[in-house]
Amino acid sequence: MSYIELHSRSAFSFLRGASLPEQLAARAAKLNYPAMALCDRDGVYGAPRFFAAGQEHGIRSIIGSELTMEDGSILPVLVESRRGYQNLCRLITKTQLRSEKGQSAVRWDELPEFAEGLVALTGDEDGPLRPHFNSRHSRADQLLHRLICTFGSANVFVEIQRHHIRGEERRLRQLIDLAEHMRLPLLATNGVLYAHPDRRQVLDVFTCMRHHTHLDAAGKLLTQNSERYLKDAATMAELFRDLPAAVQNTTRLAERLQFSLTDLGYEFPVYPVAPGETMDSCLRRQTYAGARERYGVITPKVQQQLEHELALITKLGFAGYFLIVADIVKFCRDNDILAQGRGRI
């Protein structure tokens, strides 16, 4: 039976993942994975390196993220389309801009605006269903109903994991019952935090750093075993031999998640210009104004070089980039902020 890991975190999930994206991709290649998903916490920071390493090793990289919700729960989402990637990036940017560093949180009522093109999982031990494990089904039903209304029933999967931890079978049974009751598919994952079992020690150190403690005092803050490594398909199939559909659903879902960073193209944001003006004409005007300020007199040699540079920028469609950078530098100068880059502005 084939299996694809759809919930892993890298070291770009700061102090929560213990392997670099390249290490995860290399391990996935050794396990003959055709694809794998990376879901770093509150960002897609590791996605470019994971994508590049995936290309090198023949692994199709699937992009996702773990979203910190306003109630403190963690909602993993996977990108299905270009629209989904745009929505994920916009949502993360919106929450980061309004929050202090490391304190961003997504409001439940703003999820629908950014749900198109995304697939939601119910998460692992920090997922939104955890507070309802010991309560009546009604509250968990309400949460799943909310996810279904937000993402659509075809885009919500009940995630299940087995790490040989006391009490997890009872919680697993509750998740299975919920999935059956709500008619949602199960999805097996290993909630990967590192590529190899021996990286668990690195994760323990990271956990101590995150909680400002040390190994002798960390206690139950540390993971109970070394099971959260990237496992092969046979191991996962044996682990869920009583729930084969949950393993099969990993490949079925992965087949849907065909978005790649190559689908983005290379497009700069549009820089706002005055009515009747284009970005190219605006850049030309600003360039000649800057040249007169710097040189006093624009000699034929200077003009020839300016025209050569402007023609190249127009050909490549980079006018917006230069206008944006110039705007940033002007703001920094006006506010006495040190700004430095390649070339002279």
Q: What is the pLDDT along the chain (345 residues), one digit of tens a residue?
A: 799 999 999 999 999 999 999 999 999 999 999 999 999 999 999 999 999 999 999 999 999 999 999 999 999 999 999 999 999 999 999 999 999 988 899 999 999 999 999 999 999 888 988 766 655 557 888 999 999 999 999 999 999 999 999 999 999 999 999 999 999 999 999 999 999 999 999 999 999 999 999 999 999 999 999 999 999 999 999 999 999 999 999 999 999 999 999 988 767 778 999 999 999 999 999 999 999 999 999 999 999 999 999 999 999 889 999 999 999 999 999 999 998 776 554
Spell out the domain ranges in the chain.
21-263, 279-334
Instruction: Tell me which residue has tokens 């100068």.
Output: 333
Strands 35-41 and 118-121, by their bridges, are: unpaired
Q: CA-CA distance, 226 to 197, in Å (whole number)?
A: 6
Which class in CATH covers the domain with range 21-263?
alpha beta
Q: What is the pLDDT at residue 135? A: 54
Contact between residue 165 and residue 200 where contact means Cβ atoms under 8 Å apart: no
Q: What is the pLDDT at residue 264? A: 84
Residue 61: partners with Cβ closer than 8 Å, 6 or more residues away? 25, 35, 36, 37, 38, 47, 50, 51, 53, 54, 55, 260, 261
Q: What residue type is 36 in one-letter code?
A: M
Tell me the pTM: 0.82
Residue 44: partners with Cβ closer than 8 Å, 6 or more residues away? 63, 65, 88, 89, 92
Radius of gyration for the chain, computed over Cα atoms and rounded to the nearest angstrom = 25
